[in-house]
Structure 1
Amino acid sequence: MNDQTSRQGTSKAWLWLLCLLSTSALANWQEVVPEARVVGAGELRLFGFRIYSARLWSPAQPLAADTPFALELTYHRAISRDDLVDASVKEIRRLSGGAVSATQLADWRAQMRQAFVDVAPGSRITGVHLPGRGARFYVGQQLQHEVRDGVFAAAFFAIWLDPRTRNPELRAQLLGAAAP
């Protein structure tokens, strides 16, 4: 084998590797939660203004604790990444009741800054809960960030799904217990 043939083989191997890597980077959330169907849907409204529409997706109906699920939020208002992160940290702190340390919250704040973006009307962020493993966040259909921390994932999704949520009506709608 000559040098040109060897270089061509190496180039083809690199191209193949790049194709494999780019395919996984472009994977959408539906590939992570196969056979997911809408469990429930609702809207968050504050003072009569629509903030976002939410849909909970899962292959398990009703939602099961050990099954991955996706929470899709489609925004109706412009909200900065910082405001999204601050509101999430505030709710995690409220729901955790001190079980989460300041160090954990600081780390989770940094993770959420990577996962979230400034949103405009029509923007969609989907969080995928992978029980015991963590969470993945998609902006549109693009993977934005993965947090490999099961404790964070449980605390984050509790914002919507914990019985102590600030929005019990939305929780009931997401879990399929009430009409949107």
Structure 2
Amino acid sequence: MAYSRNPAQAFKSESGTSRVGARSNLYTQTTHTQTAHAQTKSKLFGFITLSLIFAALIFTASAKASAVDDLNKRGQGEMSYLFWTLYSAEFYTTPTNSERALKLEYYRAIDSKDLVDATEDQWNKLGYSNNNIQRWLKPLYAMWPNVEAGSTLTIRVAEDNVSRFYFDEQPIGVIQDKQFGEAFLAIWLSENTSEPGLRKQLLGLNK
């Protein structure tokens, strides 16, 4: 005699198997979804990390950039007045002297007008004509900022005698007058400078 299952039992058994299979599929899908989310988060975190590292490298590189990085330092010294040291000065050139730069780092706060007035006074002492001096002063009044302790002001005179000024390593203006750069550097480098000791230091003549 053949064995025959009770129909109700058979339905119950098949229904139970179906539910188990459904739960298994749901678990598998949930696991795959969670894995995909975890991989996406991991990739996103990696991308953000790389972006931050890249940004930090760019910032570091830009922070270290200087208007005189590609030049050679000839010499350096300090300018003092009475009991105060006002600034340090560094003179840079190319090997052929085709480009020159003077970098000043201030130790005290000085108003921009006082800086320009002092420049005018030095040009008068060097014997430049009043017409030239007034022409050269005009862009300086418009360009130069007030300086604080730690501020830097750099002039770079290119091979074509165009002068570029930088404040705290950021460009602040260009003077196309071909006579300006030589006259400005003469304040420190001329044989008739009011600071011959500093001149020797800047030119490396006291070694």
TM-score, L = length of structure 2: 0.64
| SS of equivalent residue, structure 1 residue 71 | strand
User: Which of residues 95, 112, 121 in structure 2 aligns to 1:90?
Assistant: 121
Cα deviation per residue 1:41-70 (whole Å; 9 max; x = unaligned)?
00001113110001111122xx73xx1111
| Pairing 1:48–2:79 present | no
Structure 2 residue aligned with 1:17: none
| Pairing 1:80–2:133 present | no
Q: Percent identity?
A: 32
5+ residue gaps, structure 2: 1-64
| Pairing 1:59–2:94 present | yes
How many angstroms apart in 1 are the aligned matches of 2:66 and 2:171?
Answer: 7
Q: Matched residue pairs, number?
A: 143
Alignment of 1:7-46 (within 5 A): 29-30=67-68, 35-46=70-81
Amino acid at match of 2:180: F
Alignment of 1:30-179 (within 5 A): 30=68, 35-60=70-95, 64=97, 67-95=98-126, 97=127, 99-100=128-129, 102-178=130-206
| SS of equivalent residue, structure 1 residue 127 | strand
TM-score, L = length of structure 1: 0.73
Q: Give how far 1:77 is off.
A: 0.7
Alignment RMSD (CA, Å): 1.9
How many angstroms apart in 1 are the aligned matches of 2:176 and 2:106?
Answer: 26
| SS of equivalent residue, structure 1 residue 105 | helix
How many angstroms apart in 2 are the aligned matches of 1:115 and 1:150?
Answer: 18
Higher strand proportion, which one? 1
Larger RCO (CA within 8 A; separation ≥ 6): 1
* Structure possessing the higher radius of gyration over alpha carbons: 2
Q: Give how far 1:131 is off.
A: 4.5
Q: Give how far 1:130 is off.
A: 2.3
5+ residue gaps, structure 1: 1-26
Q: Give how far 1:132 is off.
A: 4.5
Q: Give how far 1:141 is off.
A: 1.3
Higher helix proportion, which one? 2
Amino acid at match of 1:38: K
